[in-house]
Amino acid sequence: MLKNWKRNSFFILTVLLTFTLAACGSSGTGGSNAGSGNGGSKQTTLDFVWFTDGVEGEVMKGLIKEYEDQNPGIKINLIEVAYTDLGTKLRTMVSGGKPPALSRISDTGMFANQALDLSEYLGTAEEFSSQFIDSIKPYYIVDDKVIAAPMDVTANGLIYNKTLFDKAGVSVPTSSDDVWTWEEFSAALKQVQEQGGARFGMVMDVTPHRWSTMLYQFGGSIFNEDGTQAVINDGKAVNALNYFVQLHKDGIMPDSVWIGGENPNNLFRTGTVGVHFSGNWMLSNYKDINNFEWGVTYLPKEEIRSSVPGGKYLMAFKNSGVEEEAAEFIAYLTSKEVNGKYNQESLFISPRKDSAQLDYEFGKEFFEVFTDELNNSTPKAANDWSRQDVITKFTDDLRINIIETLTGKMEPQEALDDVADKANKVIEASN
């Protein structure tokens, strides 16, 4: 009987040990289906590559916690990297055969070929894009595929020194139905200088992106509609550059910014500049100004109204093994309620059409002006700037040549002909 007891005890011990080892083997971390330790149920992990510009990182962590609480079978592994390291990190993961489930991204074209087509999960390209403002569509809809989902948007626009404008007796447009022409805007800036005591009427960030706002307002664009040829040297583009040069010759804009490299942000903060031609991202930057009152007004127009939309997107990757779960998480983050909360708390602009008026703790009326600019922007802007694989290869040439026209070393037509030639060579090489 003792022998039988020993034999039975050994059998029971063996069974228990087998179950124990099996349980230990299923509890590893880092996999997409790690054991949760809760009755043997599975937990799916989504690697989420993320970079932060401001407070939005903390906002996202709060949203992730809420999602995990609502979906106990999902674990979001937030992999935080510096923006400058984002491309390298993603290329390493993709080329190594271990792409993340999803990533925050600004250049959607960089990984378009590796992107999961979200239309297979979130509705057709037409259905999905109908939720968002039209001007950003070229950034994330490619060949009727949804290669990414809009999370927030940016717009170029005007931040003005209200104290100087009031002193000069200049009232800014208060409605999008009554925006200035460029000639009217220039005259207003001159009055702010002469009667308000402004040292300069306006400063503009030294980037082709900001200058291109004028290009679109004058009816021009960088590429033709199908992107097969550069048209940045046509008559409308030359008119825009001529006007930009004239603003400097007239002393409305200082040479010290585009030619000398002086920081336009610092100049505006002195209280001696009428307008900073920048974007909505400067609103939180200027919150601490207390030596003068400032506000936001509408961009001027020439042939048309336009800003230049930008922003950040969520991209899911093919072959991650968790494609469906990644798509579901993106659907959650881009939904009206969640996306509105994210942008409101981060002081961003929502790309959703039904979230044009969020209850911001600061500058609600300012954000509404920037949103209106986006709603009145030409599709040409997004068509051009969504082609990051091409445009980034000659924007430095554009910036340099604009400066060359300001110093008198090149004529506007000559400068833009040179840029168009370089752009066409890049287009040809990319085909």
pLDDT at position 28: 32
Tens-digit pLDDT profile for residues 229-287 = 999 999 999 999 999 999 999 999 999 999 999 999 999 999 999 999 999 999 988 99
Domain total of the chain: 2
- Which pLDDT belongs to residue 36? 39
Domain co-membership, 267 together with 415 = yes
Query: Would you state the pLDDT for residue 244?
Result: 98
pTM: 0.84
| Residue 15 covered by a domain | no
Mean pLDDT score of the chain: 91
Is residue 315 located within the same domain as residue 425? no
3-class DSSP state of 431: coil
CATH number, domain containing residue 264: 3.40.190.10
Q: What secondary structure does DSSP assign to 290-351, as a single string?
A: -SS-EEEEPPPBSSS-----EEEEEEEBTTSS-HHHHHHHHHHHTSHHHHHHHHHHHT-B--
The answer as to whether 7 is a domain residue is no
Residue type, 314: L
State whether 271 and 217 are in the same domain: yes
**Domain shared by 133 and 269, yes or no:** no
Give the pLDDT of residue 11: 38
Residue 89 lies inside a defined structural domain of this protein: yes
* Residue of 68, 27, 25, 28 whose CA lies nearest to 48: 68
Looking at residue 253, its pLDDT comes to 98
Tell me the average pLDDT across 85-101: 96
Confidence of residue 27 (pLDDT cuts 50, 70, 90): very low
Domain shared by 111 and 198, yes or no:
no
Quick check: is 279 in a domain?
yes
- Clarify whether residues 239 and 168 are in a common domain: yes
SS3 label, residue 125: helix
Task: Give 203: exposed, middle or buried? Use CB within 10 Å, 0-12, 13-18, 19+.
Answer: buried
Domain hosting residue 254, numbered range: 156-306+387-430
> How far is it, in rounded angstroms, from Cα 275 to Cα 173?
14
Band of pLDDT at residue 3, cut at 50, 70 and 90: very low
Q: Is the pLDDT of residue 102 over 50?
A: yes
Is residue 71 one of the residues assigned to a domain?
Answer: yes
What is the structure's pLDDT at 284? 87
* Reduced DSSP (H G I as helix, E B as strand, rest coil) percent helix, strand, coil of the chain, to 5: 50, 15, 35
pLDDT digits (tens, 9 = 90+) for 342-356: 999 999 999 999 998
